[in-house]
Amino acid sequence: MEKIRKPRGTMDIFSPESDIWVYVEEKMREVARRFGFTEVRTPTFEEIGLFKRGVGDTTDVVQKEMYAFEDKDGSVFALRPEGTASVVRAIIENGKTSDPMPLKYYYIINCFRYEKPQAGRSREFSQFGIEMFGASGAAADFTSISLANALLRELGIQGIKLHINSIGCPECRPAYREKLIEYLNERRDSLCDTCKERLEMNPLRVLDCKNDECRKIAEGAPKSVDNLCTECKAHMDTLINMLDSCGIDYVIDTKIVRGLDYYTKTVFEFICDGIGAQSTVCGGGRYDGLMEQLGGPSLPGIGFGMGITRLIMAMKQSGAYLPEREPLSLYVAPLGDRASIESQRIVTELRDAGVRAECDIMNRSLKAQMKYADKLGARYALIIGDSELESGVAVIKNMQTSEQTEIKISDAADFIRKSM
């Protein structure tokens, strides 16, 4: 029969790789908690209109990458391509806008985008993200950057750099946009085909095109940071002062504009050289108009999304600590039915005490059991047969030294707990 394979651009993850994922996700939750964020969970799919309005009709994500489907009643849904739009919808729908400000949420979610799969880019991917609403000042921008920075540092990632930029607000961006369009129009013929389209719809995106010719043109383009209004300029200066005073390294990168339409003022990326072409591990920024655009009150927002696959790639290439499975403290090898019951009693006692312990459930021979215990990396093995049950004394074997000692079966669990 023909084998069924996973969809292109998706992943199957087993241990030891999944142990790294668990460790990274635990770290994310721990750091987010320390910063006062709580977890929010929203549906994997939403009405397609949410993403059209919330991500932007002109973006690649909405135009080319969305997994959309019709439900049995004719409604059209899409698998979420990102997290922000859903969180904003949920805040509005659940009346969270009357909670004390700022609102601070984090999530760990799978996202779906129909993209060309390659290293660091898949069709289903996981993202850690945070959202903060209600705080308009640069201190909020700093808090999100600082959270991402703390996480990246604590995961042992090296050679990662914070790139920041400001793309202005509805006050100053239109004039800048005109200037940019004028400059790009003069060089239109040298732009790649996609950028020719972007020039009409979303000219700022030309600045982050990866095409060589477009890059050269972007080098000489007018910079948004040179065209900010007084408020946007002051916002950026304050953020920079905070980064400086807290010792967070950054570069001002005028080509960072972010892929999604809704950004205002601060945009930022953490970029890690050495993990290949898909080097942006974390991307975020401010979106002061988004809540209103989705039918809520006018509440300023900021947040970021961090791709977990790229994060783990960066950890590996940094030689960062990678977790190992919790060691197996005891393997109990029973011979016979009565011994099997006794061995269940011992492992239950240990597991209840938080210790990893296992015993045979396959009715294997002693030899096969010892081989298996060795494969599992057990530190001790306890062998129990009928005569051991009779005398209440069994042999416990230190699997590293092969040293064997006699022990009262009733003391075995205690012995293991004390040996840890």
Residue in 264, 280, 329, 343 binding ligand ATP, rule: CB under 6 A: 280
Closest CB 310 distance from ligand ATP, rounded Å: 5
Between 111 and 396, CB nearer to ligand ATP: 111
Residues in contact with ligand ATP, total (CB under 6 A)?
A: 19
CB 285 within 8 A of CB 254: no
Residue in 54, 102, 283, 301 binding ligand ATP, rule: CB under 6 A: 283
Query: Applying CB under 6 A, which part among 44-52, 94-102, 278-286, 403-411 lies near ligand ATP?
Result: 278-286
Q: Considering the rule CB under 6 A, would residue 122 count as an interface residue with ligand ATP?
A: yes
Between 27 and 338, CB nearer to ligand ATP: 27
Query: Nearest Cα to 305, choosing from 340, 267, 331?
Result: 267
Closest CB 166 distance from ligand ATP, rounded Å: 17
Q: Considering the rule CB under 6 A, would residue 109 count as an interface residue with ligand ATP?
A: no
Tokens 């903060």: give the residue.
132
Q: Considering the rule CB under 6 A, would residue 331 count as an interface residue with ligand ATP?
A: no
Identity at 384, one-letter amino acid code: I
Helix boundaries (H) for 220-336: 230-245, 290-293, 308-317
DSSP one-letter string for 64-102: TS--EEE-TTS-EEEE-S-SHHHHHHHHHHTTGGGSSSS
Side by side, the strands of the sheet bearing 357-359 are 357-359, 330-334, 380-384, 393-398, 404-408
Closest CB 57 distance from ligand ATP, rounded Å: 16
Per-residue tokens: 315: 């950890």
Question: Which residues are CB-contacts of 67 (< 8 A; sequence separation ≥ 6)?
Answer: 78, 79, 81, 112, 113, 114
Residue in 222, 259, 296, 323 binding ligand ATP, rule: CB under 6 A: 259
Residue in 42, 254, 264, 309 binding ligand ATP, rule: CB under 6 A: 309
Q: Considering the rule CB under 6 A, would residue 82 count as an interface residue with ligand ATP?
A: yes
Query: Nearest Cα to 256, choosing from 239, 271, 275?
Result: 271
Between 203 and 283, CB nearer to ligand ATP: 283
Helix (H, G, I), strand (E, B) or coil at 293: helix
CB 114 within 8 A of CB 8: no
Q: Considering the rule CB under 6 A, would residue 265 count as an interface residue with ligand ATP?
A: no
Q: Annotate 390-401 with b (16+ C-beta within 10 A) or e (fewer).
A: eeeebebbebee
Phi and psi, residue 39, nearest 5°: -80, 140
Per-residue tokens: 111: 């996202």
Query: Applying CB under 6 A, which part among 163-171, 220-228, 301-309, 330-338 lies near ligand ATP?
Result: 301-309
Q: Considering the rule CB under 6 A, would residue 231 count as an interface residue with ligand ATP?
A: no
Query: Applying CB under 6 A, which part among 30-38, 273-281, 287-295, 374-382 lies near ligand ATP?
Result: 273-281
Q: Look at the chain and count its residues.
A: 420
Residue in 27, 29, 52, 121 binding ligand ATP, rule: CB under 6 A: 121
Residue in 58, 194, 211, 278 binding ligand ATP, rule: CB under 6 A: 278
Residues that bind ligand ATP (CB under 6 A): 82, 113, 115, 120-122, 125, 127, 259-260, 278, 280-283, 305, 307, 309-310
